[in-house]
Amino acid sequence: MRLTICYLYASGMNIYGDRGNVLTLIQRCRWRGIDVRLIERGVGERSPLNDIDLFVAGGGQDRDQIAVSRDLQDGTGAALIEAVENGAVLLAICGTYQLLGQYFRTGSGEVLPGIGMFDAWTVAGSRRFIGDVIVRVRLEDREVELVGFENHSGQTFLGPGTRPLGQVLIGAGNNGTDGCEGAVHRNAFGSYLHGPLLPKNPDFADHLLRLALRHRYRDDVPLAPLDDRIELAARAAMIARIRQRGRVRSGVRA
Ligand code: GLN
């Protein structure tokens, strides 16, 4: 079996180790004997996107988002929308997530156009949301708690055409007010969670791989289970620690 993964905008959009999402996907494929072809595509590069099963993009500063926004407007965005409409999988974190909505209005008032893949818009707020996040997400037939780290001033709001990735249990998520985190359209996922997200949440990584294999083979392909006991124990410990800290902060327990 094989998959083609495209890592978009690696040089500008890779904060808090977001590249770890790509490394996790590749390693989890390798452990299962799935060949991965990795294509890196930066601003201005024009390699074709029609054979990609899974796109990954990270977060970045407002100034790096300007170049990415322009590149998305210049054909890449249309190609991404076409790929996602054909069932390709996409994971976009924070800065790139913001540009997949309709627009991002930065702190200096500049409006960076998005591609409208998500029915969403983002406006820079006066405070930054920084800290650990726990999000309840439905993956196939079960609920899981994802853990990650957020650092953004942009506040994202979803319109009726896009559903959130999950509900925030601790942290701010999309905007700190409506309890939503991330966005989902077909197999495209936007999220504010760095961490990086996928090494901390192997079940979400496998969810993306299952969808990507379905895209490649147009059928359900069984994914061999891996021994994730260490990863899952680390996540459980992190969730317990974040909850404990939350309780201390809110004064429930000193
Ligand atoms: N510059 C954006 C914001 O602060 C994105 C930051 C990020 O990608 N972490 O909202």
Mutate to test the pocket of ligand 1, among 8, 122, 149, 153 (most ligand atoms within 8 A of CB): 153
Name the CA radius of gyration of the chain, rounded.
17
Per run of 10 residues, the mean pLDDT along the chain (length 254 residues) is 97 93 98 98 95 97 94 98 98 98 96 98 96 96 96 97 97 97 98 97 98 97 96 97 80 47
In CATH terms, the fold of domain 2-249 is Rossmann fold (3.40.50)
Mutate to test the pocket of ligand 1, among 151, 156, 197 (most ligand atoms within 8 A of CB): 151
pLDDT recorded at residue 246: 78
101 C-beta closer than 6 A to ligand 1: no
pLDDT recorded at residue 245: 87
CA of 2 to the centre of ligand 1 (A): 33
Token look-up 């970045």 returns 60
d(CA 125, CA 206): 34
Where are the extended beta strands (E) located within the chain? 2-8, 35-41, 54-57, 89-93, 103-105, 111-113, 120-139, 142-158, 166-170, 180-181, 183-185, 188-191
- What one-character-per-residue DSSP string does 50-110 give? TT-SEEEE----HHHHHHHHHHIIIIIHHHHHHHHHTT-EEEEEHHHHHHTSSEEE-TTS-
**Residues 146/208, Cβ–Cβ less than 8 Å:** no
Which of 29, 180, 185, 194 is flagged as catalytic?
194
94 C-beta closer than 6 A to ligand 1: yes
Token look-up 């156009």 returns 113
Domain regions of the chain by residue span: 2-249
- On whether the pTM is more than 0.85, the answer is yes
pLDDT recorded at residue 252: 53
pLDDT recorded at residue 188: 98
CA of 204 to the centre of ligand 1 (A): 22
pLDDT recorded at residue 253: 45
Q: Which atom of ligand 1 is nearest to the CA of 154?
A: 10
Give catalytic status of residue 207 as yes or no: no
